[in-house]
Chains A and B, each alone.
Chain A
């Protein structure tokens, strides 16, 4: 009896509800996104305050935390005062003293939950504690993807239909009372009747449903996400938010009937008048305005540093000499330091940044698997399929995850035998950790010795996708990639396409550590595909016709950088001659040295590793973290990200950005019509902006917008985590991922003439809203004048950095491997 939302009278209401619920996918498809995406149509400062008032979120740091930043200099006094003056004019001194005031104020109660609180206040019944445990248990059993050994009896017709069938057949009921049972067994749509019994006033339905669903937004969000994207579940489960709400209402009626008999009155009778509607406008109060001022000054203090350093950067110069090699990295902030080290090790090399799917959106089918993996940014749906052929897959098994361990008699045998083996494994894995079947290794994503079906093979029977690419398509993909980063001439002998992935163990959020541009997977397949395409002689002929002349002596080589282990795997091309081989080995060496330096730099944030000058030992310790069961921080991932720089490497090459910047290469000269910039920004805003804002909100409210500490997390149905057994699903990032993060909005800095950028934005409303509403900032650096412009309220205005005292290079050098805090932006020569 599933009624599509479209033709029911509650469809609008349900759609609005879905819009506000968390939109987090099941764990395997975890993708960063703006946690408060539903408020993104408002300007940032209005949106977050509204979210705070309605849902009770904490949306900025506390006053005490800002004051701490002020004391340690991360918020600059001069900038703070200047900012208060611009915002408050004459009365700036009053505000300044308010900001420094230490009084702690309690906040008003959020609007959410006020209607349903009447159950407790007027009926003295704690409905949530009676309903949630069984509700969560049923829905998690229904959606379970492989933990239970005995599955929920599934009916294709959906959630309510499955429940009804179980209720009909079973000799025991879900319910304790008769009325709810009858309502469930009724084949008609009973939602109206249920609302009559429970709420009693149609006006209050929306308010009630919001209250009810936001009492467990984790599960509601999951149901809503699965309803909209059924392909997130490998074992398909039909479910809708409407069904879910109906079942919850039935459980509530049951709990009330059980307590009071069938004579209680609906909540509308006892609910006192509600003064404000849920979504009424809000005005920030004094406290909130203080926090906003603090926060903006905090951001400005950092942006000023960056602008100051970048404006001293060298102008773009035409170098005539040929590079030893060129390397294309992902724009990921974790590659920022890797590129710097690589350029130090081999000053003749040149590095680029581009989204890590290398312009090849594909579905990937590993050898021996029937499932497809999407490898491209989340909003894109690929049309091509790449199959892995002849991989030597070795899947080691883990007996401790074996289902027989949970049997009665098999369990008896296993405890008597394997049990003692567990003791040995336990001791070994704690004192001598090494990779085992339970760990995630990025190099396993695709076997190095396998072949990929890059060449066109027609359409696949099962999926109807096109297997491989035609020559024209290949040329188009390669051309698109090279033009977007401005690499159209002066090709070196070697061009490395370096994808990235991450290895870890005991990490439920592993997908969030891999490449965001590959939907949370390592990018090795994409790198191999683009390299193979670019090495194809026929493709090169086509490219020559389009004005990109890649010399025959140039070789594209794919590689995968493991960002947590700082290791690299090269996927060597077949036809490589002796001369090339020697050079190849030399470059490989450069990479290895750079990786070791990178690992050492990263180690400064890990308290358990103290730098002692022995670089390879530190590197070993860094690697050990990724296979240690007890290590909740294999790497710090995107923590501290704050910048996205779209422009030539000459801007950033001599600036120490402390792994805080997404770097996308872009040549303003070659992009005459702005189309390249348009497509770059269209990816940077949602991908980097999404990462940035998820870290932002998980940091400022780890309890509600983040997942809390991961230490007690319990895996539910392979789709999510909860605390303990009875808890709601937790969304957002665990505290271990965000604790060192400074919540700053992303500042996108583009090297292009401001007017040109403005034209592009005016043609792309979706993109423009990101910047206009200030969910992320946009700065333009004029390529000719080196003048900076800040995009505010749809206009570019000149931005003059204050000269701030930073670190000098010697200070940096002495702290690079030991200082555990953020290092200020520093000039490198």
Chain B
């Protein structure tokens, strides 16, 4: 069984690696590769399930290699197999198997055929790591891959405006979910005082004992998990991203947003169920939010005049009910529901173009004669109000912009004295002050000392806000991402326990990515290209390779699991004390915005309608 679990992890990774090196023009190789990988995975999944059922029914918890270890800190990979894994594994393998075959023909002759199969493979890697994960750290690896592959798939038609805009929008919501997990990880470090696996959670007594003394921490961990799950599964208040994610080719929308990606939220809740099982208030919260989402989404689905958004909202409504089921603790009903919903919505999306001929044929024979319904005035008023609300999607789409991003923009615009020329000088001064204070820690008034981490974290946060809201200089924005990380590192250094090597680990990825990013921007400028952040420039049209390199550096600086910074971020939180909630909040916000800003820079420079008009390009509204 252990071998089988390894196969289930490594098969998709091998598929991705092969896909990356296959020649671009060879459609047959590319699609067969994905198809065979998905097929083998399906066989392995069936086999694993069979062994699990006929065997002991016991859960498998395999502790894998330790990636990084130091006193009190142990970042290890862990894999896990139980009925939840099995259901998700089967759904995922079956859907991917079918969809790769479907896309093999559907995508024929499309620009980006290879890119499509690469992204599907990447997604599949992320999906399998997530569902087979045995601890939050491993889950987070898969979780990040899911987010980034989602971004790439929504922006598949990278030369049009709306796909890119929506990709960034969806990514920003995913990012909130990501940090939900990071903070949950931080809190659970302090709760357990060590890294725990999901297997440990099965130990009811252990969980109960810890929660007895730390009920507030427990509640917050659950809340963070819930935010992550809600963001990933388009629950309130994040729902409006799902219809907007339907920008890629229909089969990819079907598999991502019809079946697999949207059901990762329920997975997270199912996985951590033993943890919050005894927190009644948490269960109530999940159920109420799930049910409200269901009602809201059902109403919204009813007024949708486009087929894909209708299916999206119907799916959100069912996922809301799944949340309720999970909160009620009826796991098996929830699992059946998840599978049914995934299959139904995938098929509905795949046949969605047929609705035109189908409905027209039908309406030929059934003309609906509508009798005007008499309403009492007040019911009429309420009905129309509900209609209007649903038509405007309950203002959810503008909610995040008005409440979160716009205030940030206002804040960022105050820092206009910063330019690329002086940013390193300004920052150098801050750094020197920081180092000085660090070295002379002893002479600082002990009353002030506890506030210093917060001060530097605030400085870091302001930098990243400026970076996020910068409208002109790419290099300034990029530099601020680097300095943000350094500021965070200084901030954490004021805590006694920090080990220098941890900071090196954290910053090494930042430096390398930052440098590669700067070089890429410089190369682009050397080509005589104008770059700025005031619009999308679409330079991937002329410079696809540079775009790929810069993309790697952008996700590297954002702490994606390709550099040590990924572990470093977790370490950073490890060093934040249990009582430094505000500091944790600041660092969390910094990391959200840092990732968002780096992806924004990438999107603005390389994606969207090409700034040069020597070839035909779609309208902005198209």
Contacts and interface: CB of A to CB of B under 8 A. Distances in A.
B344 A415 contact: yes
A716 interface: yes
Contacts of B308: 714-715, 724-725
A784 interface: no
A727 B162 contact: yes
B614 A412 contact: no
A40 interface: no
A386 to B, nearest CB: 15
Given A169-B381, A408-B298, A420-B340, A724 B387 contact: no
A712 B157 CA distance: 9
Interface stretch (A99-107, A534-542, A560-568): A99-107
Interface in A214-273: 215-218, 234
Given A630-B103, A704-B616, A739-B109, A408 B353 contact: no
A702 B110 CA distance: 13
Contacts of B620: 128, 215
A725 B391 contact: no
A415 B341 contact: yes
Contact of B392 (A134, A218, A717): A134
Contact of B105 (A408, A608, A718): A608
A140 B14 CA distance: 45
B101 interface: yes
Contacts of B352: 714-715
B354 interface: yes
Contact of A715 (B313, B339, B355, B389): B355
Nearest to B253: A712
B343 interface: yes
Nearest to A408: B298
Nearest to A110: B613
Contact of A507 (B248, B348, B357, B367): B357
A723 B613 contact: no
B351 A147 contact: no
A719 to B, nearest CB: 9
Interface string A715-740: 11110001111111010000010010
B172 interface: no
Interface stretch (B208-216, B314-322, B446-454, B514-522): B314-322
B616 A510 contact: no
Given A708-B622, A717-B305, A106 B157 contact: no
A52 to B, nearest CB: 10
Nearest to B336: A416
A709 B160 CA distance: 12
A185 to B, nearest CB: 15
Nearest to A504: B357
B348 to A, nearest CB: 5
Interface stretch (B5-13, B46-54, B177-185, B358-366): B358-366
B308 to A, nearest CB: 4
B527 to A, nearest CB: 14
B357 to A, nearest CB: 5
Contacts of B299: 150
B427 to A, nearest CB: 28
Contact of B341 (A27, A368, A419, A710): A419
Contacts of B249: 709, 711-712
Contacts of A736: 109
B347 A426 contact: yes
B390 A150 contact: yes
B358 A724 contact: no
Nearest to A215: B621
A259 to B, nearest CB: 11
Contacts of A426: 98, 343, 346-347, 350
A415 B348 CA distance: 12
Interface in B374-394: 380-382, 384-385, 387-392
Interface in A439-466: 439-440, 444
Contacts of B614: 62, 104-107
B160, B248, B340: most-surrounded residue (chain A CB, <10 A):
B340
A430 B101 contact: yes
A106 B614 CA distance: 5
A630 B251 contact: yes
A572 interface: no
A726 to B, nearest CB: 6
A140 B617 contact: no
A149 B307 CA distance: 11
Contacts of B387: 150, 152-153, 166, 170
Interface string A491-525: 00000000000000111101000000000000000
Interface stretch (A289-297, A393-401, A480-488): A393-401
B295 interface: yes
B357 A401 contact: no
Contacts of B619: 215-217, 703-704, 728
Interface string A163-176: 00010011111100
Given A106-B613, A508-B353, A425 B347 contact: yes
Contacts of B94: 423, 427
22 contacts: A56-B613, A137-B392, A141-B303, A141-B391, A150-B303, A171-B382, A218-B622, A406-B313, A412-B337, A419-B342, A419-B343, A420-B340, A423-B347, A427-B98, A439-B354, A506-B351, A508-B353, A710-B353, A711-B106, A712-B246, A713-B250, A716-B305
Given A170-B387, A419-B339, A712-B157, 8 more contacts: A62-B614, A215-B621, A368-B365, A412-B321, A414-B340, A415-B337, A630-B105, A723-B622
Closest 6 CB pairs of A and B: A419-B340, A438-B354, A711-B249, A415-B340, A58-B616, A144-B305
